[in-house]
Homo-oligomer: A and B are copies of this chain.
Amino acid sequence: MSRKASKARSITSRDVAELAGVSLMTVSRTLRTPELVSPATRKRVESAARKLNYVPDLAAGSLSSQRSGHVAVLLPSLRHAGFLRTVDGLSDTLRDNGYHLLIGDCYYSVDQQLELLRMLLGRRPEAIVLISGLDSPAAQDLLARAAVPVVETWHWPDDPHNMVVGFSQFDVGRAMTDSLIEKGHTRIGFLGALGPFDPNGEQRRQGHLAALRSAGLRDDIQSSVGKAPMEIEDGVKGASWLLEHFPEMDALACASDMTALGVLHECRRRGCAVPEQLAIAGFGDFDFAQYLQPSLTSVRLPSYRIGQLAAQLIVATISGEAPSPAPHCNLGFEIIHRQSTGNHDSLLSYSSSAP
């Protein structure tokens, strides 16, 4: 009677077996491979299971089959529309193949990331998807020794751990600033979180700087306001600071569409005309970007597709097939020019590099 006090015991396969008058493994078989069971027995087991509202204990099943049936995804933040789309893509494709998705949200924290990775590994996932890489040697070491398939996404590492489905953040930063340069801007700023907590943002900043340098333009217009994930208010404050210190700035590339929205707002407040006085570009092509006034130039990422392909790679790898797409996919991105950089109609610029 020890453990009965606190908690009602769950229905187990033994209960079902007894009610149906069969053995344990006939119950298991009926649920997993009904075609190997005679119709009469099957019917009896199924009705017993239904009557008892039997829900098999997945943990017990995983333990004995040594297959957890789930895939883990580690991401910097759920408050990011793009990452969420990737999660959707993963989730949809994985579910169609019988896997469940375990989500680990790191809140852009290196410590959280390590702790979460450890906990996810403890659930013995059959594969791990990384949305934008591991940020500490400890985490990298832990994963390296875990002997589990890994798909990195949302970036394009020089030295991939295993599989990759992504695009180059550096290229995004460079392409956006190149396009601003082409439009004749010469005093172009960057507004994003500085520092090591958002490696992807840092990559874009490096791309931005590279573009400026190869055009021989000044590269000192940037602010260190806010940290990832950059929100609207960071855009307001960052714009305020930049407009004070660099009144000559004529274009600004932002860390995200959120930030860009804050910048738009601050410009309106100060009577700074967009795009005439200041051209503004975001990142992520959030839902609202094209409905703002002025509509916002941004970078569209293949977010859902990333999740979908990553899931396909995983399914193929686990089942031992040759990876369905190539195990290293660079999906590219699109720059969408809208009113905030002086385009009347939205115009598509495309960029992608197959591996």
Task: Give a binary string over A1-39; 1 marks a CB under 8 Å from any B CB, 0 the rest.
Answer: 001101110100000000000000000000000000000
A87 engages B78 (CB within 8 Å): yes
Closest B residue to A85 by beta carbon equals B79
Give 1 or 0 for each of A305-340: 1 = CB within 8 Å of chain B CB. 000000000000000100000000000000000000
Query: Is A40 close to B, CB under 8 A?
Result: no
CB of A215 closer than 8 Å to a CB of B: no
Q: Is A217 an interface residue (CB 8 A)?
A: no
A7/B55 contact (C-beta < 8 A), A119-B100, A288-B261, A288-B288 known: no
Give chain B nearest CB distance to A333 CB in angstroms: 21
Check A147–B78 contact: CB distance below 8 A.
no
Interface 1/0s, chain A 63-79, versus B by CB < 8 A? 10010100000000011
Count residues of A near B (Cβ-Cβ below 8 Å).
54
Contacts of A288 in B (CB 8 A): 232, 261, 288
Question: Are B66 and A59 within 8 A (Cβ)?
Answer: no
Question: Is B7's CB under 8 angstroms from A147's CB?
Answer: yes
Contact of A105 with B by CB under 8 A = yes
A56 within 8 A of B: yes
The reply to whether the CB of A57 lies closer than 8 angstroms to some CB of chain B is yes
A-B contact pairs, 29 of them (CB 8 A): A3-B147, A3-B149, A4-B147, A6-B320, A7-B66, A53-B141, A53-B145, A55-B121, A55-B122, A55-B142, A56-B122, A57-B122, A57-B124, A58-B119, A58-B122, A58-B123, A59-B60, A59-B63, A63-B63, A78-B78, A78-B84, A78-B88, A79-B84, A91-B105, A100-B119, A102-B102, A231-B287, A258-B287, A268-B293
A3-B149, A59-B60, A79-B88 given; 6 more Cβ-contact pairs under 8 Å? A7-B147, A55-B142, A57-B122, A264-B291, A288-B288, A293-B293
Per CB-CB distance, the 8 closest pairs between chain A and chain B, nearest first, are A8-B147, A58-B122, A59-B59, A53-B145, A55-B121, A265-B291, A59-B62, A55-B122
